[in-house]
Amino acid sequence: MTISAPVNKIIPFSNVDGPSNRMAIFFQGCQFNCRFCHNPETINMCSNCGDCVKTCPVKALSLEDGKVVWNRSICVNCDTCIKICRHNASPKITWMTADDLLKEIEKVRPYIEGITLSGGECTLRRDLIVELFPKVKAMGLTTLLDSNGSLDFEKDPEILGYCDGVMLDVKAAGKEFSDWLIRYPNEVILKNLEYLLKVNKLYEVRTIIFPDRDKDNEETVTYVARIIQDRCFYKIIRYRQFGVRDEQRDVLGDFTTDEEYAQGYVKLARSLGADKAYLI
Ligand code: SF4
Ligand code: SF4
């Protein structure tokens, strides 16, 4: 059976999704429901409710046999459909096989160092990844996963076989904070933090610093820094309100974390041995 996966977006040249110039491929679908999600339209699969179809100004959406069909060639990317969707979904999805993706990669191959698979949550598409990555490595490119850490990598070593590294989100070390923030258990994420380090596949860890949450921020940064030390990058990210759903902005704050406040957590991480901590 040919494996395919729903692709939300492909950025042919990205310099923020890992080292050097990379193609970033974003899959649709994530089992978390993070309060601060900046791309909530990537969380769920479209339920074909049809609400967005009539709102498209250029009639790029239609309902055929009860399914929403997107005409990419006339879409003007105004994102009206995304704004109207109440299901955290997007109608602008393309199902692609590994061969489809390889054709896209081939177009830019001389200009990139590698590819990064992101989401949504890319590891929900592990069967496609296992097929794709060896072929990408054979092209002389590097392979990274940008993951929420939900897949137990120790139980699925095949996915790491042709993977150069994982960029792992550790959003909350405390169980209560994690349950509230990402609405998903964090045990496997924390286990992955140690396992990926052990097998030398941890490229980077990312933690978001929220305004006025001293205890939670400190707990997570301390936890991560003590484990990773200087063995991988630690990207400390200021919470930014842009793209966050309105009801969650009311909870988390409708403003960006103060830079000086966030810089304090970089200092904390470095003081604990995480010398490669930096702020964005
Ligand atoms: S994208 Fe959203 S609004 Fe449009 S059909 Fe799918 S679920 Fe409905
Ligand atoms: S983003 Fe494209 S499909 Fe969606 S409403 Fe705008 S033109 Fe239509």
- pLDDT for res 249: 87
The mean per-residue pLDDT over the stretch 32-48 comes to: 93
HEC secondary structure over 116-173:
EEECCCHHHHHHHHHHHHHHHHHCCCEEEEEECCCCCHHHCCHHHHCCCEEEEECCCC
Residue among 76, 85, 92, 93 whose CB has most ligand 2 atoms within 8 A, to mutate: 76
Q: What is the pLDDT of residue 66?
A: 95
User: Which pLDDT score, from 0 to 100, does residue 253 have?
Assistant: 84
Tens digit of each residue's pLDDT (9 = 90 or more) over 194-245 = 999 999 999 999 999 999 899 999 999 999 999 999 999 999 999 999 888 8
Quote the mean pLDDT of the chain: 96
CB 82 near ligand 1, within 6 Å = no
**Minimum mean pLDDT range among 52-61, 130-139, 174-183:** 174-183
Q: Decide if pLDDT at 186 tops 90.
A: yes
Closest-lying ligand 2 atom to the alpha carbon of residue 59: 8
Q: Write down the pLDDT at residue 1.
A: 79
Centroid of ligand 2 to alpha carbon of 76 (angstroms): 6
pLDDT in tens, 18-27: 999 999 999 9
The H-or-E segment that residue 102 falls in is helix 98-108
Domains parsed from the chain with CATH numbers = 4-42+94-279 (3.20.20.70), 46-92 (3.30.70.20)
Q: Is the pLDDT of residue 251 over 90?
A: no
Non-local (6+) Cβ contacts of 278 within 8 A are 233, 234, 235, 236, 266
CA 90, 160, 275: angle at the middle one, nearest 5? 90
Nearest CA to ligand 2 atom 6: 78
**Which ligand minimizes its atom distance to the CA of 47?**
1
Compute the distance from residue 37 Cα to the ligand 1 centre, in Å.
18
